């Protein structure tokens, strides 16, 4: 007979089942799927810091961006301050200071982008968006917001607020950012977002670049300002134009 059935034998403690750890919820970026590959010809494009850097990595590409969007390029005074700061302060990440210097010269000092400013009436909305961005990063890192985090995201918040202000006035607006968290916050407020790869795709659709050229430019720029891996184009096919004999198969009607 088994020992546990003998009189006086100590009973074994029951093993309690430990529930498995909850899987970490993946918070994917929310870049817009409503904007067609070729983009919207009447939309205002608000450029975040990272997209300005990406477009300035190659001078020829920066010139094409300026000519393609012409007077539709906007940014904010907060982002301009960030870009100028990066241009005059060395950083440990290779290429960032040089990209900031070129972005300052090509886009800001030349007047190629219109610089929008926050208005007194924007303060409450700016604080709301800023808090949302910081909370999202705290959740992503699973840590309380550090002093460094509390100093971040002002540029993205200012751009989203300016987008909302222009949308309220009836404009069609696209927020161009490489930041996945910013894309989520913008999406939650019905702001369309695109990253630098999408902008290159628009240039492919206008025959400014071939798909392989655009992908090479994306790879070069992505070393400076990275698009989240889940949203990156994986090859030249992802940046190809879908035009067919009867028009753009993806873009028709958009």
What are the tens digits of pLDDT across the range 214-252?
A: 999 999 999 998 899 999 999 999 999 877 545 565 564
Q: Distance between CA 193 and CA 31 in Å, rounded?
A: 5
Write out the H or E segment, with its range, that includes residue 175: strand 173-176
Asked if the structure places residue 9 within a domain, the reply is no
Residue 145: inside a domain, yes or no?
A: yes
Q: How far apart are CA 203 and CA 55, in angstroms?
A: 12
* Domain encompassing residue 215: 35-241
Provide the residue count of the chain. Answer: 254
pLDDT value at 37 more than 70:
yes
Domain count, the chain: 1
Q: Which of 4-13, 46-55, 173-182, 236-245 shows the lowest per-residue confidence on average (mean pLDDT)?
A: 4-13
Q: Is 28 among the domain residues?
A: no
Q: What is the mean pLDDT of residues 170-180?
A: 96
Q: For residue 51, what is the domain's CATH number?
A: 3.40.50.1010
Predicted confidence band at 28 (pLDDT cuts at 50, 70, 90)? confident
Q: Does pLDDT of 72 surpass 60? A: yes
Mean pLDDT over 201-217 rounds to 95
What is the tens place of the pLDDT at every residue in 98-144? 999 999 999 999 999 999 999 999 999 999 999 999 988 777 666 55
* Cβ–Cβ < 8 Å for 216, 51: no
Is 234 a domain residue?
A: yes
Q: Is 187 helix (H, G, I), strand (E, B) or coil?
A: helix
Please report whether residue 70 resides in a domain: yes
Alpha carbon 81 to chain centroid, angstroms: 19
pLDDT digits (tens, 9 = 90+) for 81-98: 999 999 999 888 899 999
Average pLDDT over residues 169-181: 95
- Express each pLDDT in 48-67 by its tens digit: 999 999 999 999 999 999 99
Would you say residue 10 lies in a domain?
no
User: Is residue 163 domain-resident?
Assistant: yes
Instruction: Enumerate the β-bridge partners of residue 45.
Output: 73, 174
Beta-bridge partners for 248 = 243
Residue 23 confidence (pLDDT): 45
pLDDT above 90 covers a percentage of the chain that reads 70
Q: Which residues have a Cβ under 8 Å from the Cβ of 209 and sit 6 or more positions away?
A: 64, 200, 203, 217
d(CA 130, CA 81): 17
In a domain, 161, yes or no: yes
Which letter does DSSP use for residue 165 in this model?
Answer: H
149 compared with 236, residue with greater pLDDT: 236
Q: What share of the chain is helix, strand, coil (3-state, %, to 5)?
A: 50, 10, 40
What are 138-141's contacts with CB under 8 Å, separation 24+?
139/27, 140/27, 140/181
């Amino acid at each position: 007979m088994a020992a546990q059935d003998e009189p006086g034998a100590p009973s074994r403690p029951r093993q309690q089942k430990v529930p498995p750890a909850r899987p970490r919820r993946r918070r994917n970026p929310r870049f817009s799927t409503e904007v067609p590959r070729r983009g919207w010809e009447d939309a205002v494009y608000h450029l975040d810091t990272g997209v300005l850097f990406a477009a300035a990595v190659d001078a020829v590409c920066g010139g094409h961006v300026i000519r393609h969007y012409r007077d539709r390029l906007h940014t904010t005074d907060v982002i301009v301050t960030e870009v100028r700061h990066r241009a005059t302060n060395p950083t440990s990440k290779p290429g960032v200071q040089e990209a900031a210097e070129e972005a300052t010269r090509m886009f800001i000092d030349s007047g190629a982008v219109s610089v929008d400013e926050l208005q007194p009436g924007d303060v409450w909305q700016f604080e709301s968006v800023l808090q949302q961005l910081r909370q999202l990063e705290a959740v992503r890192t699973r840590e309380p917001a550090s002093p460094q985090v509390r100093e971040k995201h002002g540029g993205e918040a200012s751009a989203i607020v300016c987008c909302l202000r222009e949308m309220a006035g009836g404009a069609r607006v696209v927020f161009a950012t490489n930041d996945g968290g910013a894309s989520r916050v913008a999406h939650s407020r019905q702001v369309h977002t695109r990253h630098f790869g999408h902008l290159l795709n628009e240039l492919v659709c206008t025959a400014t670049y071939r798909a392989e050229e655009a992908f090479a430019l994306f790879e070069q720029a992505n070393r400076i300002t990275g698009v989240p891996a889940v949203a990156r184009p994986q090859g030249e096919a992802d940046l190809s134009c879908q035009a067919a004999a009867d028009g753009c198969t993806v873009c028709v009607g958009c």
